[in-house]
Amino acid sequence: MNQPPVLISAERIADRVRELAAEISADYADKGDLVLIGVLKGSFVFLADLARELTIPRTIEFIAVSSYATGSKSSGAVRLIMDVRGNIENRHVLIVEDIVDSGHTLAYLLGILSSHRPASIRTCTLLHKAECAEVEVDIDYVGFPIGDEWVVGYGLDYAERDRTLPYIGIVTPDDRR
């Protein structure tokens, strides 16, 4: 497979991550320790860069879910693979996602994490495919709105490939064979 064409450059991503971190830091400046919950596997690169840019106290947790897909389309069924390990009760939580498209996974996560009784839950995603939404979810911080392209890089993959690209690239149907 050739290198995917660039949709969002590494420089644009770095700039936007700094902007998001400044906004989040300002919003949580007087709230104490923020718990960042990264959704595995895709969010790990974005989460790491975002966490380093924040200027407020923060801790990091991870959660893993699996959504059942048929081809490149999610069925909407989501199941928990790994819950957060730390106590988030009465703490401010920020879910950090790589991409939100149908909204099923984020809606599921909001329900699961609400059961832990945090002080607040907000959401942050690097990429948002608003035109693919099937479930209404509020996203508090969005890195980049994108169309209905299949994307890889900066944590996102196709068949576990291209996660480590420093940019967001587009995978064409021919590349997905």
Q: Contact, 103 vs 135, CB < 8 A?
A: yes
Q: Give every CB contact of residue 149 below 8 A, 6+ residues apart in sequence.
A: 7, 170, 171
Query: Looking at the domain that runs over 11-149, which CATH code has it been given?
Result: 3.40.50.2020
% the chain with pLDDT above 70: 92
Whether the pTM exceeds 0.85: the reply is: yes
- Helix H, strand E, coil C: the string for 1-15 is CCCCCEEECHHHHHH
pLDDT in tens, 10-36: 999 999 999 999 999 999 999 989 999
Residue 95 buriedness (CB in 10 A; 0-12 / 13-18 / 19+): buried
Range 105-112 average pLDDT = 92
| C-alpha to C-alpha distance for 60 and 55, rounded to whole angstroms | 14
pLDDT in tens, 124-171: 999 999 998 899 999 999 999 999 999 999 999 988 889 999 999 999
pLDDT in tens, 83-93: 788 889 999 99
- Residue 30's pLDDT is 92
Q: Looking at per-residue confidence, does 1 or 65 come out higher?
A: 65
Residues labelled catalytic:
101
